[in-house]
Structure 1
Amino acid sequence: MSGATHPGHTPESTDRVALVSQWFPPEPTGIPLGIARSLRGHGFPVDVLTGVPNYPTGIVHSGYRAHRRSLENRDDLRVLRTPLYPSHDRSAVRRTVNYLSWAASSTALGGTILRDADVALVYGSPITAVSAAMAARLRWGTPYVLMVMDLWPDSVFATGFLSDGPGRRLAQYALGRFTDRAYRWADHVTVPSPGLRETVVARGVPAEKVSVVYNWADEKVMQPTEADPGLRTRLGLGRDDFVVMYAGNLGAAQRLDVVVEAMEHLGDLPDVHLVLVGDGVERPRLRERARPLSNVHFVDQIEPYRIAAAMAAADLQMVSLADEPLFRITLPGKVQAILACGQPVLVCAPGDAARIVTDAGAGFAAPPGDPVGLAEVIRQARATPAHRLRAMGDAGRRHYLLHMSEATNAQVLADLLARAARRRGSATRQDKETG
């Protein structure tokens, strides 16, 4: 693990953590919930400040209202939801309003969570989610640890969120200044990949202030399991068909059009099939693109507790990202989920994702953005003996348990939070003594 090293510590005190995340279940965002559960297991009382659930479709979930603040108990956590403008489509204006509306409402209405906290932990995607924690630092001296999930402002523009022009230049300047300040004010910064750590340090954040904390999978769910016996039958696939599966967000950043196009080059292999599981803004376009193809299948989003069994019904799991410089330092959470399940992987993405999988001996890498090259790698995978594919899956699971598991990474996070809370306590005592 790169970054600062921290002695093992499980807090005996009851340092209260405020987890700040724009997205939280019932939205399909298991990482923030997994973090909250793990911290609670390390002795921290945890409260959650989040938004009204509307991801990934932009439609407010049943039982909630976009403009109404609510307090609920979820998974034995106190969860405060503040209003937002619901949107998750391709409109730059609506997405901007979505981010800024929650930044404003969480800052204005999140005091009941942040005021009582000894330390805040910010799930920093989008980066505007840190606004409430920054305000709490100014108002009450609450320190925060910032989990940088992706690189801002770069990630905003990587998928054409704003076109060139004065609007983009202004947004880049404003977001860049805001992001720099968010890093500076943080007690510590964590990143989910080695490449992202190198980039953040190169941008001026002290190396000792940045640690790699991998996003671990939900290990109660994502583990080796028996295959869903009905999935292939429902899709009209045979037992001997070779199935490549992508399960996750069907968004622009994933460039799944490249994967669909690759299937056009595999028409001479009628036993090779692609199964796309999930939802997202690109799903309608992908369905239209795949309409003439009999080897591409779509499956609606699957409940988290069933996804490992669905994955086990495939021969190979797919990870796909656009061929953008930003994605060379991006590690999609599905990499950890697939490795935890002991499944072989085909990575069609640049940088860290491909390096980690190939170094672990856990699968194949294909050139991103190249449907012909991807088709050739799929041919290679199909020709690989089943026992060799199983060995790749086993190697990936060993790598996950050693480097990416909850046991390894949650301890680092717990240490960082405990140290931030202790520093705040020391500063408070000093103020009282000199006051």
Structure 2
Amino acid sequence: MTGPGGASRDGDPAATRVTLVSQFFPPEPVPIPLGLTRCLRRLGFAVDVLTGVPNYPTGTVHPGYSHRRRTVDGLDGVRVLRTPLHPSHDRSTVGRVANYLSWAASSTLLGSPLLRTADVALVYSSPATAACAALTARLRWGTPYVLMVMDLWPDSVFATGFLTHGPARRAAQATLGRFTDLTYRWADHVTVPSPGLRDTLVARGVPAGKVSVVYNWADEKIMQPAEPEPGFRARLGLTPDDFVVMYGGNHGPAQGLDVAIDAMDGLRDLPDVHLVLVGDGVSRNALRSRADQLGLRTVHFVDQVTPERMVAVSAAADIQLVCLADEPLFRITMPSKVQTIFACGQPVLSCAPGDAARAVRDADAGFTSPPGDPARLAETVRLAHATPRARLRAMGRAGHDHYRLHMSESANARLLADLLAEAAAKGRGRPRRNREQR
């Protein structure tokens, strides 16, 4: 069946055909998979997409689709095959497991039209069960695949609070551990978005030569140096001379933004220092209550804005805050916010562990403070406040230069393209079983 948008395919029969396997894809708000299809097509690949029926982030199926039926539609000239799943994105463990497993099963059973004839599959592995269809195609037809590991499984599953203890956790941990090991073993190559995650996979037995760091680049058409939004400071009652620390993004437990609120409590002697929190999330009300409890008039909450507007809004601040809770998993996490801030040429105040802080130091793009320590964060804000504005702007330019050299689309898309081409070439040299003729 054909769904909204109509189907279409790249027309060059000589192009290397890539099937992107991702449980999530637009119209769901997931920019990375769509960005992958666009950059690969610009580099000459023919791209198809195997994905699920759109239901993220609400768990409600988007209009025009049914969670019970396979559909084929098109987006940006790419053929998109959507297979059924159990729609769920609440806190229910059973619902989330059903969501992941139902799509793993349907994509494996119904995705063969794309995987059997592909030269290579590219798996956007978040969740890790998304690799099931590509793994089966590798074993059944010899279709090679490159695995993009976005989250460390099974660790990230339990870090979210699912199956925290008992026999169910032990069984799930063993099963998921064996499954992820299998996906690594049969992948032609594995990519990760941070150096720390690469080190972890190598320590777990994945050959070092099989794992490459491919950073998630920013949307460079939007995320670039910009002029401040006129009137933004004035609407918050701020003057041009006030020192503004801004955080933009999700307000959730993973971000641990309470440390920033408590740090502001230690900066009462600097009334020109302000913290502006832009966005929304499950922790926002608690953060607002904490600021009210402390009587902090220098903490401001701004509703979520579009990415296009956020560029100018963030340019109205003096420094951008990157904040993560002090959890072992976050030490090997590179939040996409780092690339976004670098791409926009703004200085960074990192209150995060591991890779995020290391990137700021390597780029000389700002300041770092240990996660979860409000006293140390307050000291770091004092240091940033005392830094001349010209020096802060120089830090922003250094971050932008670091982004262009190491984290940009031009640097990472070419690396990914080379890995896909190499995997496809190896696949052509292997016996291919029961494959349809193109």
State the partner residue of 2:263.
Answer: 262
State the partner residue of 1:79.
Answer: 80
* 3-state SS in 2 of match to 1:53: coil
Deviates more, 1:105-114 or 1:85-94: 85-94
Q: Percent identity?
A: 70
CA–CA distance in 2 between the matches of 1:395 and 1:196? 25
Deviates more, 1:113-122 or 1:88-97: 88-97
TM-superposed CA distance for 1:182, in Å, is 0.7
Deviates more, 1:70-79 or 1:418-427: 70-79
State the partner residue of 1:202.
Answer: 203
State the partner residue of 1:190.
Answer: 191
TM-superposed CA distance for 1:163, in Å, is 1.7
CA–CA distance in 1 between the matches of 2:99 and 2:280? 19
Q: Is 2:356 the counterpart of 1:353? A: yes
Deviates more, 1:158-167 or 1:30-39: 158-167
Deviates more, 1:166-175 or 1:254-263: 254-263
CA–CA distance in 2 between the matches of 1:278 and 1:53? 24
Deviates more, 1:295-304 or 1:129-138: 295-304
Choose which of 388, 402, 407 in structure 2 pairs with 1:404.
407
CA–CA distance in 2 between the matches of 1:87 and 1:279? 21
CA–CA distance in 1 between the matches of 2:333 and 2:355? 6
CA–CA distance in 2 between the matches of 1:161 and 1:171? 10
Unaligned 5+ runs, structure 1:
1-10
Unaligned 5+ runs, structure 2:
1-11
Q: Which residues of 2 match residues 316-335 of structure 1 at below 5 A?
A: 316-335=319-338
Q: Which residues of 2 match residues 240-279 of structure 1 at below 5 A?
A: 240-279=241-280
State the partner residue of 1:123.
Answer: 124
State the partner residue of 2:375.
Answer: 372
TM-superposed CA distance for 1:61, in Å, is 4.5
Q: Is 2:100 the counterpart of 1:99? A: yes
CA–CA distance in 1 between the matches of 2:283 and 2:85? 23
Q: Is 2:143 the counterpart of 1:142? A: yes
State the partner residue of 1:34.
Answer: 35
Change (3 A) 1:307 1:58: farther
Change (3 A) 1:245 1:25: farther
Change (3 A) 1:61 1:308: farther
Change (3 A) 1:58 1:141: same
* 3-state SS in 2 of match to 1:427: coil
State the partner residue of 2:212.
Answer: 211
Cα displacement string for residues 198-251 of structure 1 (whole angstroms, at most 9, x for unaligned residues): 111111111111111111111111111112224334444333332222222333
State the partner residue of 2:45.
Answer: 44
Looking at both structures, which has the greater relative contact order when contacts are Cα pairs under 8 Å and sequence separation is at least 6? 1
TM-superposed CA distance for 1:281, in Å, is 3.7
Q: Which amino acid aligns with 1:14?
A: A
CA–CA distance in 2 between the matches of 1:250 and 1:328? 19
CA–CA distance in 2 between the matches of 1:238 and 1:54? 43
CA–CA distance in 1 between the matches of 2:51 and 2:251? 23
CA–CA distance in 1 between the matches of 2:239 and 2:70? 50
CA–CA distance in 2 between the matches of 1:324 and 1:69? 39
State the partner residue of 1:311.
Answer: 314
TM-superposed CA distance for 1:344, in Å, is 0.4
Change (3 A) 1:406 1:264: same
TM-superposed CA distance for 1:417, in Å, is 0.6
Aligned residues: CA RMSD: 2.5
TM-superposed CA distance for 1:170, in Å, is 1.4
Contact conserved, 1:56 with 1:280, CA < 8 A, in 2? no
Cα displacement string for residues 104-151 of structure 1 (whole angstroms, at most 9, x for unaligned residues): 232233233323321110111111111121122233321110011121
Cα displacement string for residues 267-311 of structure 1 (whole angstroms, at most 9, x for unaligned residues): 443333323333444344434444444333333433233332222
Q: Is 2:293 the counterpart of 1:296? A: no
* 3-state SS in 1 of match to 2:430: helix
Q: Which amino acid aligns with 2:43?
A: H
Deviates more, 1:241-250 or 1:338-347: 241-250
Q: Which residues of 2 match residues 381-420 of structure 1 at below 5 A?
A: 381-420=384-423
